């Protein structure tokens, strides 16, 4: 007669309880992600000459370019302003995601 492993030694939690907790955690994470996706995030370049608006799922919804940013003799400046605004908007999404979902992944990596 062989002995079966004692899984009950895991803090008194059986496998069914662990699965319920995992499912609940998964549902909470999905809800947090939906909350982020429903938000809008804005990135602005210097002097707000370019403003990029994103949805929480990282889709560019709008880009507003101030006419003062348009210099036909210096297209590189406008490119830099657009890049700056877009990167700042994406950074806002990353920060919100980390703040919201980071509590679930802390210590996993």
Give domain status of residue 74, yes or no: yes
Give domain status of residue 85, yes or no: yes
pLDDT of 108: 57
C-alpha to C-alpha distances, 93 to 21, 35, 58, nearest whole angstrom: 28, 12, 7
Give domain status of residue 14, yes or no: no
Give domain status of residue 8, yes or no: no
Give domain status of residue 66, yes or no: yes
Q: Please report, rounded to a whole number, the percentage of residues in the chain having pLDDT higher than 70.
A: 83
Give domain status of residue 77, yes or no: yes
Give domain status of residue 18, yes or no: no
Say whether pLDDT at 11 is over 70.
Answer: no
CB 40, CB 53: distance < 8 Å: yes
* CATH code of the domain in which 59 resides: 3.30.1310.10
Say whether pLDDT at 8 is over 60.
Answer: no
Residue among 45, 66, 43 at smallest CA distance from 53: 43
Q: For 19-53, write each residue's pLDDT tens digit.
A: 888 898 888 888 988 999 999 999 999 999 999 99
Question: Domain limits at 72?
Answer: 34-101
What's the pTM? 0.73
Q: For 77-95, write each residue's pLDDT tens digit.
A: 999 999 999 999 999 999 9
Give domain status of residue 91, yes or no: yes
- Count of domains observed in the chain: 1
């Amino acid at each position: 007669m062989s002995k079966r492993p004692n899984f009950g030694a895991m803090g008194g939690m059986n496998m069914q309880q662990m699965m319920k907790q995992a499912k609940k955690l998964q549902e909470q994470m999905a809800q947090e992600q939906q909350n982020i996706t429903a938000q809008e995030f804005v990135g602005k370049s210097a002097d707000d000459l370019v403003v990029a608006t994103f949805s929480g799922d990282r889709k560019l919804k709008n880009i507003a370019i101030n006419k003062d940013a348009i210099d036909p003799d210096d297209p590189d400046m406008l490119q830099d302003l657009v890049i700056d605004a877009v990167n700042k908007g994406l950074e806002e999404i990353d920060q919100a995601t980390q703040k919201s979902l980071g509590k679930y992944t802390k210590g996993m990596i």
